[in-house]
Amino acid sequence: MDIKLLGPLSAHLGGVSIVPSAGKPRQILALLAGCAGQVLPVPTLMEEIWGADMPRSASTTLQTYILQLRRKLTEALGPDADRTAKDILATEYGGYTLRVAPESVDVHAYDQLVSRSRTAADRGDAAAVADLCQQALALWRGPALVDVKVGPMLEVELVRLEESRLATLERRIDAELALGRHSALVAELRALIARHPLHEGLHAQCMLALHRSGRRGQALDVFQDLRNQLVDELGVDPSDRLQRLHRAVLNGDPALDLAGHAERHAPFLERLAV
């Protein structure tokens, strides 16, 4: 089984798609895949589909959707398979489970890579962090489950994934800054702060990349633009961390620059938070 949730929903068994065309069975498949190997209680599945406005026939209708998914599995398995659709989409006490290896779902592979990148960051291995984060981010093919209508259960998972994606992107950029790749990062960071105009972490990274690229004035402009937007939209000033970075750029603090072994300077932005 090969299941992808980080983008349009995709699920193949033996090279054959098992994704139904109807919306609610797609929801069920997405939720079961995201929790591969776990039993999802019937009430949880019904809440995902109908929320608080459950029809009287909810339990029977859910069984119909499960049958539709099993029909797709049966077609993909073919007549000579040594297992059945019920072996894969199994009925358990009080619920259902999708019996597939977690690593066959891209979300699981993504989470594993993110976890390994955190471990590499803890040991100060910037090159490994950059590589692992890049591998994790490469699994994304667009917004997660962009073609699936989501209910309360999937909505929570989508929020988690989007926050994780942005944090992983920041971790990758931090690592690349530590490796002296500031010039190559400027264009990407410019685009990112345009998409996330109030995100202080990305602005801090952009300021540092610009400063290290000999573009001190532009780094100061990035701070000023952010401050104007924060004041106009939220009525607040930039955080103390960002203001310390602004003063360091303004004063040409040599601690901002890479000199000698890059890994010695990796925690500069982290030190600003202290």
pLDDT, greater one: 261 or 205 = 205
Q: Is the pLDDT of residue 234 over 90?
A: yes
If one counts every other C-beta atom within 10 angstroms of the C-beta of residue 240, the result is: 10
d(CA 268, CA 55): 56
**How does residue 191 score in pLDDT terms, banded at 50, 70 and 90?**
very high
pLDDT for position 78: 87
pLDDT for 232 = 93
**94 within 8 A of 86, measured Cβ to Cβ:** no
Q: What is the pLDDT of residue 260?
A: 40
**Residue 196 is encoded by which pair of tokens?**
């996330």
C-alpha distance across the termini of the chain, in Å: 47
Q: At what angle do helices 106-122 and 152-178 cross, to 10 degrees?
A: 40
Q: Which amino acid is at 175?
A: A
**Cβ contact 31:48 at 8 Å:** yes
Contact 95, 41 (CB under 8 A): yes
Share of the chain above pLDDT 70, in %: 94
Q: What is the pLDDT of residues 146-176, one digit of tens each?
A: 999 999 999 999 999 999 999 999 999 999 9
pLDDT of 63 reads 94
CA distance 189 to 192: 5
